[in-house]
């Protein structure tokens, strides 16, 4: 089974070389092709990428969405297995790809997604999220259901259901919801990548606003209320208490005292921007 690795890029000069070097170090029996879907990089991303035997497609920035970029890359690929990898998700070792596709090759799953671990100290708030949702075991509680930052699936799944090109984020979760009743997903914790975003308050606001819009989009167009009981006032209050408590516990345990001191501001700012996005109704 041939593998097509799809990487979405824009101004990723700091990581793309490390990602591609690690891909080329993989020990796998499967033939691979690497496709980059770039949406207007203005730094050295493409110069670095061209040092490797890959295919590069340029996407107009005006057309960019996470779903559109993936669909475009997959459309121009030839693999029986599609692997999606973030341009700043660096495989931890040379067994990453073989571990990621192993359940598919053995017929135990149609789709897999691997573990994501943070670089310590880069973004303590993101460390809380990754440690919760990408554990080093098969436990299910709190684990995220799927992620395009590090995943693989058989091509037939995409042939049947394309990624939504209008949702601003969470296109992977939406795709999972649309396919989970017909296909088997499996968490591959040994297929590990390092995935971190440097902390900035602007990044917090951007992600929260985009997530709010995505959640509203899924509710309006697909009738998916993924917040469940957290949609009620009591549910929101319980979610906030649990969220702040988990961050407090982690930050104090890991010695991130500076992050702990700004935690109330970061959380309030995040919630407010999420609500702005949710109330925007796609505007």
Q: According to the CATH classification, is domain 3-195 in 3.90.550.10?
A: yes
E strands in 76-140: 81-86, 89-91, 111-117
Whether this model's pTM surpasses 0.85: yes
Of 12, 2, 23, the C-alpha closest to 79 is 2
Are 185 and 173 contacting, i.e. CB atoms less than 8 angstroms apart? no
Residue 9 pairs in a beta bridge with: 38
* Residue 241: band (very low, low, confident or very high) from pLDDT cuts 50, 70, 90: very high
pLDDT surpassing 60 at residue 53: yes
Extract the tokens encoding 85: 């990898």
Q: Regarding beta strands 111-117 and 55-58, do their DSSP bridges make them parallel or antiparallel, or are they unpaired?
A: unpaired
What per-residue confidence (pLDDT) applies to 231? 60
213 pLDDT more than 90: yes
Three-point CA angle 16, 67, 124, nearest 5°: 55
The confidence score (pLDDT) of residue 144 equals 81
pLDDT over threshold 70, residue 228 = no
Question: Residue 211 in contact with residue 219, Cβ under 8 Å?
Answer: no
Q: How many CA atoms lie within 13 A of 113 on its CB side?
A: 18
Q: What is the residue extent of each domain of the chain? A: 3-195, 201-279
Report the alpha-carbon distance of residue 243 to residue 115 in Å, rounded.
21
pLDDT digits (tens, 9 = 90+) for 133-190: 998 887 666 668 899 999 999 999 999 999 999 999 999 999 999 999 999 999 999 9
Measured CA to CA, the distance from residue 183 to residue 100 in angstroms comes to 16
Q: What is the DSSP letter of 118?
A: P
Other C-beta atoms lying within 10 Å of the C-beta of residue 206:
14
CA atoms of 129 and 267, how far apart (whole Å)? 13
Average pLDDT of every residue of the chain? 93
Residue 37's nearest CA partner among 18, 3, 65 is: 65
Residue 82's pLDDT is what? 98
């Amino acid at each position: 089974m041939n593998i097509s690795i799809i990487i979405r890029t824009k101004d990723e000069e700091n990581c793309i070389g490390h990602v591609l070097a690690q891909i080329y170090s993989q020990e796998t029996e499967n033939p691979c092709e690497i496709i980059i879907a770039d949406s207007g990089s203005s730094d050295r991303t493409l110069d670095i990428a061209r040092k490797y035997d890959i295919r590069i497609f340029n996407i107009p920035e005006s057309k960019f969405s996470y779903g559109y970029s993936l669909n475009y890359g997959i459309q121009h690929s030839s693999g029986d297995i599609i692997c999606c990898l973030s341009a700043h998700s660096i495989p931890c070792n040379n067994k990453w790809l073989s571990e990621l596709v192993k359940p598919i090759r053995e017929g135990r799953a149609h789709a897999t997604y691997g573990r994501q671990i943070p670089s310590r100290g880069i973004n303590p708030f993101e460390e809380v999220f990754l440690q919760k949702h990408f554990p080093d075991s098969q436990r299910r509680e709190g684990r995220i259901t799927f992620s395009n930052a590090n995943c693989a699936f058989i091509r037939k799944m995409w042939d049947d259901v394309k990624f939504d090109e209008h949702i601003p984020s969470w296109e992977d979760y939406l795709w999972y919801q649309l396919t989970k009743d017909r296909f088997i997903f499996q968490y591959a914790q040994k297929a590990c990548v390092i995935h971190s975003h440097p902390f900035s308050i602007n990044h917090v606001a951007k992600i929260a606003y985009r997530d709010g819009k995505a959640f509203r989009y899924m509710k309006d167009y697909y009738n998916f209320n993924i917040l469940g009981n957290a949609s009620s006032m009591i549910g929101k209050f319980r979610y906030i208490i649990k969220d702040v408590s988990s961050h407090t516990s982690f930050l104090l345990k890991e010695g991130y005292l500076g992050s702990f001191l700004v935690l109330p501001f970061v959380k309030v700012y995040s919630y407010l921007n999420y609500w702005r996005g949710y109330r925007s109704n796609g505007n």
